[in-house]
Structure 1
């Protein structure tokens, strides 16, 4: 079925619902009045001289309640692949597309507390949707304030009960593949303090074999106003996870039965489990109307166990750090300016042990731990010093300049050597200077154009820095890249908002995962890539009557990503398409609101074919997926309401690969295992009860 037929069907479905319903809806807030909340990019969205996308609470709740990242694919320039609930890879403008299993080259924060590890690995889906108020995504390098993160920065902002509000909420969601999610939330706020807490339990058997998922998490955040000039805020999040891994499968297996798991992972009953704790404390002080400062201290602990067919990995990671910044605003020669100066420090200890997996010797018992075969400890620390200054040169022209200086070093201790003696080695990455220059010009009160030039970088991960014999590869260098971007943000009418961005990113010292065994990789610097693209967002708010509001939208990206210089094991891939990311991604949808209580969401996602390997000798098939959701809020009493929701994903039961494993290699004459099959048509629904105390 052609994509246009999908869109036509979605449009007819929404229009038919519209024709059958009519009620009161107030005018929505126009997009140009939306303000960013993350402390480092405060300001009006329309007047921010960078490509920034906002996912508010409504946008995050347009999908099923399982994945925080499910909404990311509606953001132009961002592509998320979800091989399972615990296996996600987020790429921004193609950066990080060749990562094997997780997300790197992208930095993430939760209320100014880093979520990314010291080596750049990022896991977002540990944070439950109920704990998040909004997400702000900065696309492209923005190292002048954040340091490492060549692809961009993702800010999660925690739920807030609001001023002088108290509530309790209980919700239950069910769905296909035995999905069950239970959540309890509570908030309390006065003029002096506020607190929000959430506990949830999410479990699902999964669409594929060996894909059972069980996650329990507890979240707590709050703020205490110490005086008129100061406040203290805190954040805590604990996650306990056990998720089985079906892994990727070959094309033949995918066509035969997409529900099957990879044979070795099924036989070993492979899974990952961990306890993870995130704690942060932030202090804000307003010295005067011109000067303020914010300082955060944080720690992150993870205890993980992962039986895999080729070994069993036991990991323990502990990091701690601090981030502090001073913000000053004044005038020079009657020119208003704002200046930020600060630093971020992190120290991380990684302790990993590998054991034999004797599952083949114990049939039908799953993974069985054998002798220890490796034991390494890596200590890594970095410091980012940053400065940025913002000049309002004229009422219409705003200029921003910034600089980040990063220093990263690490040590590796091998406790498992042939001589049974401890071996220690040290390494340092080159000090990186990452500047940024941006300009924004106000064409009219509602229309702005901007220019952004910035440098970004990403350091290698722990796995990439290790050689096959467990030593540090001291020849590795961080990936670096320059981003050149021009864009437009503005309203053509009050209700019609448009964004367009044209960019090019040149990445040097490309880090390549070179396979050294079955599901085992090491990192090498192997070349350069060019990332060229166009991003488009259009949204129209159509107030048909005081009763009805229809909101059609389009978000799209058209990319030309290729290897500029790339020689790997003697093969020259210059000019080939970049592996692991589509050239086109388009979202089209229509939202409808009736009576303010009934909301209908529709979204059609089109993803073009994806190169599976650097040779470009194999591609995944393009696919189109339509999702629908309806929600209804019923006010039973003045302070008590019930919220119902019902939805369907993959409405037309499209067979597609939701994720791919780049550069998979078949061993022993077997086919390469490129594909993570997407779920078939599946349903979900839920109900929540909320009691508000004024």
Structure 2
């Protein structure tokens, strides 16, 4: 009898063991807070979701086993779960889509986005996925306060809060870095359109004067970060895409990650016939980056990038051609078959070392070059540029007045050697042959020197209230050597600007859980380009001053509805003095002068909402925009008073509405509606572009061909409404020889694209 009772008890125990529920708790890896609503699925499909305490249960009979855990705003985790008598904790890492918790890397002292007392926007992988990936600058138009004039794949101008809008053909007054390596030249010119988003992890944009961190950047700063392999694995990928206008793109990628090193390499080739005549485009780009842990307290990162470009230039059109023949090229550019071509390289390395537990240093060295050839109707331009420099930054965690504090300080220096020459273009003497090199017209060498000294201190008055203050001291100088002796003008001379001191102070306060208000005041400046310092007779204008401005800003950043809704609102006022004006005195000649003051007042807003529709399907609607009140405060040029006029080249407002749909099954959909207000064409506000709306769609599906090989099929349509619009304007265009001013760059009509991507993991 006793044996029978014992056997029965054993059976009951074993049965209870197999039916036992094992409990797990899901936590945020950064905040250790419980994650509610996480979806847990196994080999057979959906299993359960976590409750308000982040807890879920699985029967012992289903363990051990491989499970997939996903939650809104977190990276998907694949994990092997086992039986246990105690509660098991599982940590999920927030993705870059959980905006408020993202650690902003481009500030001197890294801090989560919500707590940064500045207007910072992130461009993440989702933003990249919304576009056709032919031009990374397209993603900037989804950032409130930014607007990109897109004349062609290689003709783009970025402005941030209206600063840089009056530039003629390129971006200026904005600083940019790629993994800490300067991309902006020493005189403030910037080209970003030949970087491929396939090799980027994300982009951080700090809007408004950032001179206290980066020196001469009155409009703001753009920081590009190369793609970083995540898991310890090796991966190969290939992608091919075809679209309208015979646009083709091929991408090849490889990566390998171990516990102590990571290596990522990508090669891309983009070609297109273009919508307009004389619009052929061919760009090849290669990038290699990686990290290496050299010791317990040190790590090395490196980056190498090379781009070869040949892009023909259709140029701008007058109003009649813009309305009736938008596919044509400007007559002279078409006759000369004008284009730009260059080889561009970038090489750099950074070493980070923890000197003590609370004291670290990061030092970067870099070298870049550009060798360019550009036939234009009025002449042929040859350029060679080589830049080299170093940047070092120290970070110290300490206490000031018994308050937890962090101090950052350092310096940056780079030297730039630049050689330029122009030649006659004899295309008129050789009909239908395009540009033909003639006699030399000029030959100049420049030696540019640029140095920054910077410091910042962060004070934590309490868990809710923090303040940061910093400054930058900049010195800029250059020497110009005129090597052309066949004319009577000698431009040789030295030129330098007085040191510029740029302070900044900002504060952030948490008024509720996940909700912060902030305010800041910052100073910024931009130095004139060499071309702007030359007078009409070729002399150096030693009276020209840097353009300076002060930015006043206040705003709110906050989470709502259990972190499903994120909102931002910023109100700002930038007051600029010694406005630098590029006054056109010839077909390819501009003279700079300090002509007055501008006022940049505006409101920017951003809202993202994320929710789950059943297991594994997330819908993310968003809306963002900016309302601009940019005008000349005081501006008199050639005896004409433009005071009170609106700033040309900037839309009155921008608005984006969109939705992203993603599912664990592999389906994804992106829809975006953009509305852009009228844009003044010139300082006199004598004409405006029409407001326009663009509707873009993209859909894709990813599935496993077999366990380690996945396939992504996708396709999309741009400008689905087939809107006729001006994608860019040439501000203050002047007609020569009795011709009408060529102010307009037509945007592409409705166009389509589709592609396939293979990824193999081994």
- Whether contact under 8 Å (2:489, 2:537) holds in the other structure is no
Residues 77 and 557, structure 1, Cα contact 8 Å, conserved in 2: yes
2:520 aligned residue: 452
CA distance 1:26–1:341, change in 2 (3 Å): closer
* More deviation, 473-482/94-103: 473-482
* Aligned equivalents of 2:104, 2:472: Cα separation in 1: 22
Which of residues 211, 227, 241 in structure 2 aligns to 1:159?
Answer: 227
Asked if 1:387 is matched to 2:387, the reply is no
Q: For residue 123 of structure 2, what is the aligned residue in structure 1?
A: 55
Match of 2:651 in 1: 582
Alpha-carbon spacing, 1:419–1:680, altered in 2? closer, same or farther (3 Å): closer
Matched, 1:349 2:349: no
Q: Note the 1:462-501 alignment, pairs <5 A.
A: 462-493=530-561, 494-501=563-570
Question: Aligned-pair distance for 1:471?
Answer: 3.0
Equivalent residue for 2:73?
28
Shift of 1:463: 2.3
Taking structure 2 as the reference length, the TM-score comes to 0.86
Check whether the contact 1:38–1:111 (CA below 8 A) recurs between aligned residues. Answer: no
1:598 corresponds to: 667
Deviates more, 1:471-480 or 1:134-143: 471-480
Where does residue 372 of structure 1 map in the other structure? 440
Distance of 2:694 and 2:149 partners within structure 1: 14
Task: Encode CA deviations 1:540-579: one digit per residue, 9 max, x unaligned.
Answer: 1122222432111100100100001111111010000001
Cα distance between partner residues in 2 of 1:591 and 1:59: 10
Q: Does structure 1 retain, via aligned residues, the 8 Å contact 2:379–2:423?
A: yes
Pair 1:532-2:577 in alignment: no
Matched with 1:15 is none
Which residue matches 2:319? 251
Aligned partners of 2:245 and 2:275 also within 8 Å: yes
What pairs up with 1:99-248 in 2 under 5 angstroms?
A: 99-248=167-316
1:297 and 2:368 equivalent? no
Q: Distance in 1 between matches of 2:131 and 2:72?
A: 24
SS of match in other structure, 1:267: helix
TM-score, scaled relative to structure 1: 0.95
Residue from 671, 680, 697 that aligns with 1:611: 680
1:468-511, Cα deviation, whole Å (9 max, x unpaired) = 34332222211110000000000122201100000000011111
Q: Secondary structure at the match of 1:505?
A: strand
8 Å CA contact retained: 2:271, 2:280: yes
Q: Deviations over 1:255-279 (max 9, x none)?
A: 1110000000000000000000111
Match of 1:570 in 2: 639
Give the match for residue 4 of structure 1: none
User: C-alpha distance in 2, partners of 1:320/1:469?
Assistant: 32
* Deviations, residues 61-94 of structure 1 (Å, cap 9, x unaligned): 2101100111111100011111000111110010
Q: State yes or no: 1:668 paired with 2:737.
A: yes
Secondary structure of the structure 2 residue equivalent to 1:490? strand
Aligned to 1:330: 398
Pair 1:415 & 2:483 matched: yes
User: What is the aligned counterpart of 1:87 among 155, 171, 174?
Assistant: 155
State the Cα distance separating 1:420 from its structure 2 match: 8.1
Indicate the SS of the match to 2:721.
coil
3-state DSSP class of the match of 2:213? helix
Q: Is the 8 A contact 1:254 1:677 kept in 2?
A: yes
1:417–1:136 distance in 2 versus 1, CA, 3 Å: same
Structure 1 CA distance for aligned equivalents of residues 508 and 104 of structure 2: 16
- Over 3 Å counting, the alpha-carbon distance change for 1:452 and 1:687 in structure 2 is same
1:496-535 equivalent positions in 2, closer than 5 A: 496-535=565-604
Equivalence for 1:628:
697
The 8 Å contact of residues 215 and 240 in structure 1, kept in 2 or not, is answered as yes
Q: What is aligned with 1:68?
A: 136
Aligned mates of 1:225, 1:38 — CA distance in 2: 22
Aligned equivalent of 1:399: 467
Q: CA deviation at 1:26?
A: 3.9
Distance 1:612 1:449 in 2: 37
CA deviation string 1:158-197 (max 9, x = no partner): 0111242210101101100001111111001111211111
Task: Tell me if the contact between 1:98 and 1:580 (Cα under 8 Å) persists in the aligned partners.
Answer: yes
Task: Give the CA deviation at 1:377.
Answer: 1.1
CA contact (8 A) 1:646 1:685 kept: yes
Residues 259 and 421 of structure 1: is their aligned pair in 2 closer, same or farther, counting only changes over 3 Å? closer
**Residues 284, 307 of structure 2: 8 Å contact kept:** yes
Aligned Cα root-mean-square deviation (Å)? 1.4
Aligned to 1:9: none
Distance in 2 between the 1:146 and 1:405 partners? 10
**Cα distance in 2, alignment partners of residues 583 and 434 from structure 1:** 29
Tell me which residue corresponds to 1:689. 758
Query: Does the 8 A contact of 2:525 with 2:549 survive in 1?
Result: yes
CA–CA separation in structure 2 for the residues paired with 1:394 and 1:334: 11
Q: Is the contact between residue 242 and residue 753 of structure 2 (CA under 8 Å) also seen in structure 1?
A: yes
- Asked whether the equivalents of residues 288 and 303 of structure 2 are also in contact (C-alpha less than 8 Å), the reply is yes
Structure 2 SS opposite 1:264: helix
In the alignment, is the contact (CA less than 8 A) between 2:202 and 2:226 conserved in 1?
A: yes
Length, aligned pairs only: 671
Offset of residue 467 of structure 1: 2.8
Q: Where does residue 77 of structure 1 map in the other structure?
A: 145
Distance 2:259 2:664 in 1: 32
Distance 1:122 1:423 in 2: 25
Q: CA deviation at 1:518?
A: 1.7
Q: Is the 8 A contact 2:490 2:538 kept in 1?
A: no
Is the CA contact (8 Å cut-off) linking 1:281 and 1:298 kept in structure 2? yes
Say if 2:199 and 2:266, in contact at 8 Å, map to a contact too: yes
Give the Cα separation in 2 of the matches to 1:348 and 1:423. Answer: 19
Distance 1:640 1:522 in 2: 58
Q: Given that residues 472 and 502 in structure 2 are in contact (C-alpha distance below 8 angstroms), is that contact kept between their aligned partners in structure 1?
A: yes
Taking CA–CA contacts closer than 8 Å with sequence separation of 6 or more, which of the two structures ends up with the larger relative contact order?
Answer: 1
| C-alpha separation in 1, matches of 2:259 and 2:728 | 47
Q: Is the 2:145–2:160 Cα contact (8 Å) retained in structure 1?
A: yes
Q: Following the alignment from structure 2 to structure 1, what is the Cα–Cα distance between the partners of residues 248 and 129?
A: 17
Instruction: Give 1:596 shift.
Output: 5.0
Encode CA deviations 1:30-89: one digit per residue, 9 max, x unaligned. 432222234635221111111000111121121011001111111000111110001111
Shift of 1:364: 0.7
2:720 and 2:217 map into 1 onto residues whose CA distance is 36
Report the 3-state secondary structure (helix = DSSP H, G, I; strand = E; otherwise coil) of the residue aligned with 1:485. strand
* CA-CA distance at 1:289 after TM superposition: 1.9
Moved over 6 A (4+): 419-422
State which drifts further: 471-480 or 192-201. 471-480
Deviation per CA, 1:321-353: give whole Å up to 9, x if none.
111010001123431001111011011111000
